[in-house]
Structure 1
Amino acid sequence: MCGITGWVSFDRDLRAEGETLDAMTETMSCRGPDDRGTWSEGPAALGHRRLAIIDLPGGRQPMTAATPEGTVALVYSGEAYNFTELRRELTGRGHGFSTDSDTEVVLRGYLEWGAELAGRLNGMYAFAVWDGRHDKLVMIRDRMGIKPFYYYPTPDGVLFGSEPKAILANPLARARVRLDGLRELFTFVKTPGHAIWDGMHEVEPGTVVTVDRSGLRRHVYWQLETRPQTDDRDTSVAAVRTLLDDIVRRQLVADVPRCTLLSGGLDSSAMTALAARQLAEHGERVRSFAVDFVGQTDHFVADELRATPDTPFVHDVARASGTDHRDIVLDAQALADLDVRAKVIRARDLPMGFGDMDASLYLLFQAVREHSTVALSGESADEVFGGYLQFFDEEARNADTFPWLVRFSRDFGDDADVLRPDLTEAMDLEAYVADGYRTAVAGIRRLDGESDFEYRMRRICHLHLTRFVRVLLDRKDRTSMAVGLEVRVPFCDHRLVEYVYNTPWALKSFDGREKSLLREATADVIPKSVYDRVKSPYPSTQDPKYAVALQDHAKDLLARPTHPVFDLVDAERLRRAAHRDTPQITQASRRGLERTLDLALWLDLYSPEVSFS
């Protein structure tokens, strides 16, 4: 796992721009603490920071191949889980290898198949190839968007990077956010390709972007498609289990210590149990880690989102699977620490997080990194198998909008209520969301004979897999890579996603509960307590000291009335929230405090030019 960056300028020789390339590359140091490398030739310059996972001595980058027509150079971030099969096929086609790394397999694969290599890869990846034979840059991103990838067109070429910070380190990039960028920050809809920073774009999932002297072109090599599927219940359950066994086996491959992230929910418990069983075949024991909060289990109060604390279920799984388990227990002071908040914002490049859940995730990853370099996560199972409350909420199901927004509005209040009224009016978020929703559902194909209800559920599943999940995958990647931890997501394997997406909703919920297929497919390896447990989201602290700390930070901010955050935030609303009695601090008001503090720190860290046009 790594950080990549680069610059193509057809009007200059970039060998003279080493200082700028170094600056771009060094912004990726957290993503790749083990090694660095740069390469330049004529109009192309590539930078790489490496987190060594496979073939520790042999996977250095940028990696190049000399051909009679010119040099082909690669910078690659991610993992190709089928690299062994591809290597065997390429060897049969006459390719020689000097390393055991999957990076060289990707390079040789490009030499053999060009950009069509993308369709042959199974994994999570973002990579760029400078093809000196044709003076073109080829940028490729994995199907689900697990690994981030951004680019910024210039008058004579392009800048690119794993994260916006790499691009913003180049003087050609302008750190500006316009009104549409602000809208994206406050709507939670994740418009495909939108990078929030003005002039910057994402390489969309499942897409190849090619840049040459004639301009920039995009090609979609994979997208989620509707296909008929007639497997019965037993066949579907068996197919899911077969896929999961293969996926977990592939994703356990690493030359460094690996572990699992365990929450005690169905997703992470099933993944941990499968990993434990497979490692046991080789006499190994899986490590597992869970996040917890001081006093949370003893003083837990059930609410509409969370009926039970995680820890008892976590320990049930650890015992049943014989894992080497460790709880990472956090207190309110650590969660509210402004330095931690700043590190999270720096990791994301944007103030669009989840408050204490972002802080706890960062601190969890930081603690895990002391013991392991690779972690398997249960992320994305809810999107794949239909696990969220909104899948079973009639209002959310029937709303002509993104269904999670119905739940968010009900549970947390209006996320934009921290903004100045004039800015809220100018942003017109309701219209922005409505436009985004119409675009998102326009291309979802309905099967012949599909009932109205099944088609509505298909649309909801599609929206989660193409909009909602991308927010969470970006959060996971950016937060974990900020501490040099590679987190793998077995449930995002495109074979599983395609199969389950096209399974009718009646089968996805055949027992009247969420994630019926996953529960039944792993029933033999998970404890009964987990099998029976109702879905519970990622944990959030209930300690009132956390809310008090937020209020104290808000009061400090209010003491600086000229701070640029008050060009965006309604100071009077913030003042009321900062002085509210602790028992009256709702989830919505706490969320408003968190968003305001995030905005203020982002403005301090990035000094962006904010344009209301």
Structure 2
Amino acid sequence: MCGIAGWINLNEDIRPFQDKLEQMTSKLMYRGPDARGKWTSTHALIGHTRLIVVDPAGGGQPMVKTYGNRQYVITYNGELYNTSDLREELELLGHKFISNSDTEVLLVSYIEWGPQCVERLNGIYAFGVWDEYSQSLFLARDRFGVKPLFYAQVGNSLIFGSEIKVLLESNLIKPQIDKDGLLEIFSLGPARSPGIGVFKGIHELNPAHCLLHNSNGTFVRKYWSLTSYEHKDNLEYTIDTVRDLVKDAVARQLVADVPVCVFLSGGLDSSAITAIAAKSFYASGKNKLHTYSIDYAGNDLFFKANDFQPDSDAYWVKRMSEEFGTCHHYITIDNESLAKALEDAVLARDLPGMADIDSSLLLFCRKVKQDATVALSGECAISLMYYHMLILKCPQAI
């Protein structure tokens, strides 16, 4: 993941506040530890911290492109899965590229299609594009809100960032929680109402929404909605279609110039992803796929079977790793470490979360990061899909 940040003021010269931009992006260095950049003009301060996944040399940000007398600047966190398709289409329209990064493809997509570019994107993203000529800012977030994006308007300023702490660091927003914020924490936490940033004055751009900010005002619109249709395909065709979609989704996320791994819990989701990824690695001649699982000290002694979990994860992890020849890593965490990491987990989220679940994930990812940069995780993403197939007695779906 990367980190994005920005400060726009269409009425005042904000160049003297570049140090504030530095402070804002400093809060994002753990999101993007590989590089840090900024771009400034009279009315715009744009920052970025980068985690390198694709094109180390050509994907630096903020990325700037000039077409005629118009200059465009992008700060972007995410991954486009249809980069090659978009690049090919844009090249046919006369555009030329100087890098292999999806950042450049995304920026050129905005230059060519404007705000409507989001309707063509397949991926996970949060980004901002500043048009120096028209003095306008465009923000967008992916269709399911995988990548975070917060913003606030204070006086003549609009500030945005990947995390709440970025906005608080600007000192334009005070860390105040009003009645609505308290209701969010105590009634809904760790979930939140759509668009709510909990702290007074902070908003989250909703999934599948974009924002345009210029001299005429600030306008937010929804660019996509999930539509339900009557299912008319037969059973065999449905199985083939879903299998192809899942395989394609996993394969697109394996594209990287850095080490890639899979979180393997032994459950249905991670096992399916592991199977697809391992086969893809083998077919492309790559080294063995590395998989990682988490366990807790003493679990082998104190685990008790129940209706929800009739056996421990370890058996299924071992079976999947052996079946697909992965290089598996076990990471064991004890209760003392979990407790010590609770505060770090809250600071990472900016808000109260799921206690030891958050701290265990934080410790787990810290360990994995020592060896890999990109990790694929099931997160219950395909269980429902397969569940419907299994109750239809279609074991060949896996």
Question: How would you bin the TM-score normalised by the shorter chain?
Answer: over 0.9
Which stretch shows the higher mean deviation, 282-291 or 221-230?
Answer: 221-230
Query: Residue 153 of structure 2 aligns to which amino acid in structure 1?
Result: P
SS in 1 for 2:302: coil
Q: Distance in 1 between matches of 2:32 and 2:139?
A: 20
Q: Which residue of 1 aligns with 2:375?
A: 375
**Does residue 315 of structure 1 match 2:191?**
no
Q: Distance in 2 between matches of 1:171 and 1:294?
A: 43
Q: Distance in 2 between matches of 1:248 and 1:511?
A: 21
The one of 252, 262, 266 aligned to 2:254: 252
> By percentage of residues, which structure has more helix?
1
**Does residue 129 of structure 1 match 2:155?**
no
Q: CA deviation at 1:220?
A: 0.9
Q: Which residue of 2 aligns with 1:293?
A: 296
**Does residue 302 of structure 1 match 2:181?**
no
Q: Which residue of 2 aligns with 1:194?
A: 196
Q: Distance in 2 between matches of 1:103 and 1:512?
A: 42
Q: Distance in 2 between matches of 1:348 and 1:93?
A: 42
Q: Which residue of 2 aligns with 1:509?
A: 388
Q: Which residue of 1 aligns with 2:241?
A: 239
SS in 1 for 2:301: coil
* CA deviation string 1:294-322 (max 9, x = no partner): 12133211345433211111111000010
Flag structure 1 segments of 5+ consecutive residues without an equivalent.
387-499, 501-506, 523-613
The residue correspondences of 1:277-426 to structure 2 (distance < 5 A) are: 277-284=279-286, 285-303=288-306, 305-337=308-340, 340-351=341-352, 353-381=353-381, 385-386=383-384
**Does residue 521 of structure 1 match 2:393?**
no
Could you tell me the percent identity over the aligned residues? Answer: 39
Which structure: larger Rg?
1
Q: CA deviation at 1:385?
A: 4.5
8 Å contact from structure 2 (residues 58, 99) kept in 1: yes
SS in 2 for 1:327: strand
Q: Distance in 1 between matches of 2:253 and 2:129?
A: 25
Q: Which residue of 2 aligns with 1:138?
A: 138
Q: Which residue of 1 aligns with 2:209?
A: 207
Q: Distance in 1 between matches of 2:32 and 2:233?
A: 44
Q: Which residue of 2 aligns with 1:114?
A: 114
Q: Which residue of 2 aligns with 1:224?
A: 226
Q: CA deviation at 1:49?
A: 0.4
8 Å contact from structure 1 (residues 69, 132) kept in 2: no
Normalising by structure 2, report the TM-score. 0.95
Q: CA deviation at 1:510?
A: 5.5
8 Å contact from structure 2 (residues 77, 147) kept in 1: yes
Query: Residue 318 of structure 1 aligns to which amino acid in structure 2?
Result: S
Q: Distance in 1 between matches of 2:396 and 2:136?
A: 49
* CA deviation string 1:504-531 (max 9, x = no partner): xxx9535549xx87x6521xxxxxxxxx
> By percentage of residues, which structure has more strand?
2
Q: CA deviation at 1:47?
A: 0.5
Q: Which residue of 1 aligns with 2:18?
A: 18
**Does residue 4 of structure 1 match 2:7?**
no
Q: CA deviation at 1:67?
A: 2.9
SS in 2 for 1:368: helix
Q: Which residue of 2 aligns with 1:264?
A: 266
* CA deviation string 1:163-191 (max 9, x = no partner): 01111111211111112112212324531
**RCO higher in structure (CA 8 A, sep ≥6):** 1
Normalising by structure 1, report the TM-score. 0.63
